């Protein structure tokens, strides 16, 4: 069975890696689907994020059956076109759950795509890409929230 972990990953955090790694234990293959969230001001372009995720996965989850792809448009269309069976999303707080449940129900209604919501491990429950960008923007250390190569790229980009 093939699963997709979709997201903007701007930047990838240890929380994302936690969900990706756990999904890789549950499914034969996991696609990390890097999308463009037009509602957010991105720090990195999707192709840059894909490249960074590939490098981070090689360092952090080298044996995981994971590949990284760019996606555009509706998730349900991408999954139908590529034979992807299920979406896996991480949830940190009640607000995440409410949003992801609504998306899961819409996706299921539109195409039958199932969604599994995985609670983020407790040590990563407070981390978000937005907070990481904000901390970096004001000169704070982000090393405990993101892999080293991501921290270096965020610092080089000025955090915002």
Q: Which residues are designated catalytic?
A: 16, 40, 92, 129
Residue appearing with tokens 């405990």: 144
Beta carbons of 103 and 90 less than 8 angstroms apart: no
Core vs surface per residue 117-132: b (16+ CB within 10 A) or e = beebeeebbebbbeeb
Q: Cα separation of 26 and 68, whole Å?
A: 17
- Residue positions in the annotated binding site for ATP? 8-9, 16, 90-92, 100, 124-130
Terminal Cα distance for the chain, rounded: 38
């Amino acid at each position: 069975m093939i699963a997709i972990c979709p997201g903007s990953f701007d930047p990838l955090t240890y929380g994302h890696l936690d969900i990706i790694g756990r999904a890789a234990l549950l499914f034969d293959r996991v696609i990390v689907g890097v999308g463009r969230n037009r509602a957010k001001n991105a720090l990195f372009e999707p192709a840059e994020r894909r490249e960074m995720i590939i490098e981070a996965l090689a360092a952090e989850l080298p044996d995981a059956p994971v590949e990284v792809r760019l996606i555009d448009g509706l998730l349900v269309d991408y999954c139908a076109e590529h034979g992807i069976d299920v979406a896996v999303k991480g949830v940190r707080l009640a607000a995440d759950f409410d949003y992801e449940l609504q998306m899961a129900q819409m996706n299921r209604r539109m195409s039958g795509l199932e969604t599994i919501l995985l609670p983020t491990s407790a040590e990563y429950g407070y981390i978000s890409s937005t907070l990481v960008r904000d901390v970096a923007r004001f000169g704070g250390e982000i090393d405990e929230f993101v892999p080293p190569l991501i921290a270096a790229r965020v610092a080089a980009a000025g955090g915002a």
